[in-house]
Structure 1
Amino acid sequence: MISLAKGLVIAGGLAVALMAAESRAQDVKIGLLYDATGPVAAQSVPYARGIQAAVRAINSAGGIGGKQITLLAEDYGYQIPRALAAYRKLKAAGVIAIQGFGSGDTEALMDTVARDRMPWFSASYSAHLADPQRAPYNYFAGADYSAQARAGLKHIADNWTDTTRRPRLAIVYMDNAFGKSVLPAIQSYADELKIEIVGREVVNPGAIDAVAPVSRLKDLKPDFIWLQQIASTVAVIIRDSHKAGFTPKFYGGVWTYDPNLIDLAGPGIEGMVTVQLAALTARGLPVATAMAAAADNPAQLDDPNFLRGWASMIALATAMKAADRAGSLTGQAIKTALDSGTPIEVDGLMEPLVFTARDHRSSDVTLLYRIEARKPVPLGTVRLERRPSWLGH
């Protein structure tokens, strides 16, 4: 009886171990490539945490057809060589899709992920990544960088009232893939809208001042400045502009705002317009309860980087569920689901996303906010027309 009991205990233990192994085998592995230690960590870390929180919420709700998502995270420090090595590591670990981050790493791996049939969502919204002819396995949630800039220029043109002259615009951009991605689009659309481009200046990540470029821009007397920047450099540019008595109206894309910006930039931030892809807060939205349960702290519900990370993961998971229902949870099947043209709901954070096999521009809608009394105030929505000639540009 003692031997039998021991045998049953051993057998039971083996059964539990086998069940655990089977459960692990049923897990779905997704890669997360982000910057935890480099120059854009202030934006990348909360974006990654949004992805992680979304995975917790998805797993709590049953995962992907009963299979749990295992998220394998790699820090690449915003360095392309490290991103390439991290991708190889994630691929070897068996991930079937990637949540990436920056423009440089995303573009460097564009051809590789296409060959590997590895769907890649990122926080790079470069327009050419939306062209399936060039980047068939790349996706992102929301309007691309060029569309963001066009939305800002359209708002400027629509609200310009001086009939004696054209509005004057300068551009302050980063000398990298992200910064330079919008320059042709801004130039061509400004010409169409009769906006005069009067100057371009570079301010790169990590800059501690912008005195020299601000001085040169002040001499050019622009009415508006488009900031193709991240929030930390926006703070430097606006702070030094205010000190110099230089008061154009600032506009910028999705990375120009985060919750710390207002304190960092000082009083010169008043009136800045930021073009966003998603709501700046989840509070009051149906997703707020689930997000609060999955988030690390309540403040994340007011962090746009966190919210866009969440939306990106919800979009990928929606396609994964469709692929699983079709009986093939592979990169190719996920791409087929994404390219079906079926609207993807992203918890009300932005309008439903729509991808097709010929066009990965998931949205033409942007949300504009203006900083007023130290708070972002909704200014309106810009819905751009979908021109074929804008695909990839």
Structure 2
Amino acid sequence: MKIAIDAHSLEGKPTGVGRYLINLLRNWTNTNNEYLLYFQQSILKDPVLTAPCFKNKIIKAPLGIKSNACWQHLLLPEVLKKERPDLLFSPSYLLPFNWTGKSVVVLHDISYEAHPEWFSPANRFLLKFISKRAAQKATAIITVSEFSKKEILKYYKVDPAKVKVTLEAADKDCRVVSDQVKLEGFKKKLGINDKFVLAIGSIFNRRHIPELIKGFSQIAPDFPQYQLLIVGENHTCPFIDIEKLINSANSKLERKAIIHKDYLKEDLILAYNAAQLTVYLSTYEGFGLPPLESMACGTPVLTSRMTSLPEVVGDDALFADPRDPDQIAKALRKGLTDYKLRKILVERGLERVKKFSWQKCAQQTLKILEKVNEKNYPA
């Protein structure tokens, strides 16, 4: 089978979609298929892409034009017509307008349908339009949780049999690190004096960082040895000035209790391991990888019982309403002082992550692609 893949999500800074795709590819190297990976500007330098089954190609726009829309809807389809793949796999929400062959699209979540107020008018229109069109046009749809499947059926009214669920997993690099020298070096580099609570993930309105800052500020006077490390670029809409909130909180606490970094790159695993608690308080997620990654690193998690998150963490975490700073403060206090509970959560978390596997996800995804490629599919 010859499978074309829109691989542009592997370019630039790692994204959730990019991490999803590379984990699938790592588990497809021993198959008999040929994978045509298409990039916009540069091919990801990863050893996995040197496997014989992967054919990597850059499709450059004329005159140096940099436009995702031009690339996806004009340039990519022209190449596909020439190379005639059996099907197109798109891991990121959209399909080329004039692609008429078989296709599988991945919709990780459709928060722009459920909460349009979190998106600018332009992004709202674009995401709704391309996502709905892709859902209707695709031969099959893959999503990453039962919650997201229900949302897709609710908003797009597609045939339920068309929507398949494949659960994600923590990266294989997520593991317990016992090297204290490395962990202390990581903290020193970031200006962390002693212990810290970690909040990680791109900052969206739905992840309630302002409420976390308020909740942490409530307990900070009783926990002078603790800081809050927030990692993630600010993508809030309507815009929330996170730096202003942090500076205000720190000035009242008279110490640098809260630190914000856009990005950690290779230090991600050290961050999870060095933290006393990972916080991921969201009111809308398609899946939610950070809680699972934290569990794999042996660090307890504070999250919410909303949308897909119960599918990810089960009962093996602390919980709070992301919209309630008082509840967050109470849960933080419990997570930092109840040592018996912490031990239980660490043990349960390490067991829970075993239920999720990128190998299993990749196998399930490949089976879906093979089914779609059958002559009489859909029946």
- Asked whether the two chains share a fold, i.e. TM above 0.5, the reply is no
Q: Which protein has greater RCO, CA pairs closer than 8 Å, 6+ apart?
A: 1
Q: TM-score, normalised by structure 1?
A: 0.36
Q: Max radius of gyration: which structure?
A: 1
Q: TM-score, normalised by structure 2?
A: 0.37
